[in-house]
């Protein structure tokens, strides 16, 4: 059995800072993607130096100031709950940089990492800069906020997007994959899903499977759990009565999102 589900944890990292998720090269099979979620009490600080990695810090909730090698980025964050369904502010920080986060009020941050050796420019991605789109139809509908899509050239490798899937809908559906370095037909991108459920006692289902079923895992995923997708198709189903938010991080050898649908289910797209 593959180990793809990462349950929420609550581990004190420093004064006023708690780690909820920490997916890294020591506890996943992922080569390109690492991911962390931290909660910060008002007035707390978090500092890190990036080595051969780039970072997109997404302010999930709350409001923070971030200092990067002497430059300041103030008042980042727009919402108190991800389920307000409005975009938030994020900050791209390149390799070799030291950053310090200071919370102006209680905050929650997603720290999205990928391998990188280029020293690029630090860049704020304001809420207004997010491209917003509605995908799917019938019971396969979702709202998408594109934070770092593949048509933005800010990072070296990172792709970051947040998605809302309402009660009774499927997402990442029909099932698709991106695990072959075979452009222009398909790209190789690892992926992580960070899930939040409303109301928080709910759960959703996510399946990760390959064509040969060598990998085939179906998971009941709860509030603030993570799912790792090293390869394969990865659809998500949301039961009636609950709404789902998830944050996707993707990275691979080429920064291009080109997916391949499961042919058994692609017919769904052809309905009137």
Mean pLDDT value across residues 260-265: 96
Domain that holds residue 37: 5-270
CA atoms of 224 and 222, how far apart (whole Å): 6
Per residue in 185-231, pLDDT (tens digit) is 999 999 999 999 999 999 999 999 999 999 999 999 999 999 999 99
CA atoms of 166 and 68, how far apart (whole Å): 37
Mean pLDDT value across residues 7-20: 94
Domain count, the chain: 1
Per residue in 19-28, pLDDT (tens digit) is 999 999 999 9
- Specify whether the CB–CB gap between 193 and 5 falls below 8 A: no
pLDDT at 272: 66
CATH code where residue 54 lies = 2.60.120.10
CA–CA distance from 254 to each of 74, 119, 182, 184 (Å)? Answer: 32, 17, 10, 11
CA atoms of 73 and 91, how far apart (whole Å): 8
């Amino acid at each position: 059995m593959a180990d793809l589900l990462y349950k929420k944890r609550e581990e004190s990292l420093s004064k006023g800072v708690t780690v909820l998720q920490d997916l890294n090269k020591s506890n996943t099979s992922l080569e390109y993607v690492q991911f962390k979620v931290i909660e910060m009490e008002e007035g707390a600080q978090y500092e890190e130096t990036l080595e051969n990695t780039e970072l997109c810090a997404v302010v999930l909730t709350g409001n923070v100031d971030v200092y990067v090698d002497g430059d300041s980025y103030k008042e980042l964050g727009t919402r108190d709950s991800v389920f307000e369904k409005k975009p938030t502010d994020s900050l791209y920080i390149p390799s070799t940089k030291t950053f310090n986060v200071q919370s102006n009020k209680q905050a929650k941050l997603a720290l999205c990492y990928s391998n990188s050796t280029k020293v690029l420019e630090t860049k704020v991605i304001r809420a207004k800069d997010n491209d917003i789109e509605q995908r799917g139809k019938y019971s396969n509908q979702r709202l998408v906020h594109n934070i770092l899509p593949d048509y933005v050239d800010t990072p070296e490798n990172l792709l970051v997007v947040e998605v809302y899937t309402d009660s009774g809908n499927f997402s990442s559906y029909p099932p698709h994959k991106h695990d072959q370095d075979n452009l222009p037909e398909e790209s190789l991108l690892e992926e992580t899903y960070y899930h939040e459920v409303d109301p928080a006692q709910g759960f959703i289902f996510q399946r990760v499977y390959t064509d040969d079923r060598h990998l085939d895992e179906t998971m009941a995923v709860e509030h603030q759990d993570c799912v790792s997708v090293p390869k394969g198709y990865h659809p998500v189903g949301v039961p009636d009565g609950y709404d789902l938010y998830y944050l996707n991080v993707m990275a691979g050898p080429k920064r291009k999102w080109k997916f391949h649908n499961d042919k058994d289910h692609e017919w769904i797209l052809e309905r009137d």
